[in-house]
Structure 1
Amino acid sequence: MDRIEVYGKDKLIASHPRLYGRGQEHLVLDHYLDELLKKPRALLDARPFKEAQLGPLYQELLTRLLKQSPKGAREFVNVLRLGRSFDEIALKAAIEQTLAAGDCSFAAIYEALLKMFWPSSSEKLLSSTPRVQKPNVAQFNELLRGYRADGTECVARS
């Protein structure tokens, strides 16, 4: 047995290499991302983050995000969580693209990923905002007065 596998409801949840030495641990950063999202300032001191070898691209992204915003650590954790939905090659390409463009926020990286996989629909998806019609409050004033603006009487019907 070379691996330890953890199952929940007949579904593989985690798989780790079996460690034979005493006191050894195998930490996977992805397993801690949801907790780090709750306390993103703990990211830099978290053992799973320190032990993860993310590479220079991710280090540059983190440095830029921390300089851009006080919420940079949260943005970085959200970017790492994108690795759950998109493959690593696409995620790295999106990060490189947004770093080159100067906007490396989570939203920019996510938008770049959407454009990679759904080029025609991403523009509609990201730019469409629902339109809400403003209510005509004059109608309520008419009910309160008992008369419409044209002078006819308002009668409540049941």
Structure 2
Amino acid sequence: MSRACRYDPDLNPTYQEMAMHYGVGVVPARPYRPRDKAKAESGVLVAERWIIAALRHRTFFRLEDLNQAIRELLEKLNHRRFKKRDGSRASVFENVERAAMLPLPAEPFDMSQWSHARVNIDYHIAFDHNFYSVPYRLANEPVEVRATPTTVEIFHKGKRVASHPRGRGKDQAITQNEHRPKSHQAHLEWTPARMVRWAGQIGPNTARLVERILSEKPHPEMGYRSCLGIIRLAERYSATRMEAAAQRALETNACRYKSVKSILKNSLDQQPLTHLPSLPPPPPHNNIRGGEYFE
């Protein structure tokens, strides 16, 4: 359960989906009340006593051998006669339970993972080291994320608003064109020009850094998150240090938020940038063919 309650417990969403897939109902027991599920507790005791205890002194070197031994003891247990009633577990299954069984669904259950997220101003949510788009009108709104091994679905107030194939890389932005605003003004006035002007209040190097980050993205909005982080670093470390760090990031081609943060954290902005001397050309040799060979 997601939240225990005597009268109205919240089921785990993944467990509830599995129950719906197989057409079964879930009636949670009260917390710390094992007698509410006496049949299940008794079944655990019987399995421990007649299967696990019977195998406790045996050693297995293959999983197939262990499964075969468990299967033999389970068959023996199921045909063991009841002490206080007629029949056995096997006979009850054949006479009562088998007729009530339903066929399995045509498709296997697809295990899902549920989580919560908040839409960033770039109308993407962060999940599993990647970014997935939603309609831009949901910027700053809380959403629910349902992820399977192949897809990522995003829900807002119980309604699905986006579905994406699940990214297998890291720091990938999976964006659908229909989620983008028709104009930058429609996107809460967060435009690339405004972001550059905001960075320009810190200094020209920071503005150049932000402009470069936005230009390297397939869609400028994908760089908003990094640019906001860089601008906020100036509030923490001062505009002077931010300018020096931005200059160092531009000269070393380290134009990422993590790189700029590392420069400031390690005080590299206060150290002179040493330029490595250019390497001399290799000495002439018969095994070195040179660039003319490939022309």
Q: TM-score, normalised by structure 2?
A: 0.24
Higher percent of residues as helix: 1
> Which protein, 1 or 2, shows the higher relative CO under an 8 Å CA cutoff with sep ≥ 6?
1
Larger Rg: 2
Q: TM-score, normalised by structure 1?
A: 0.42
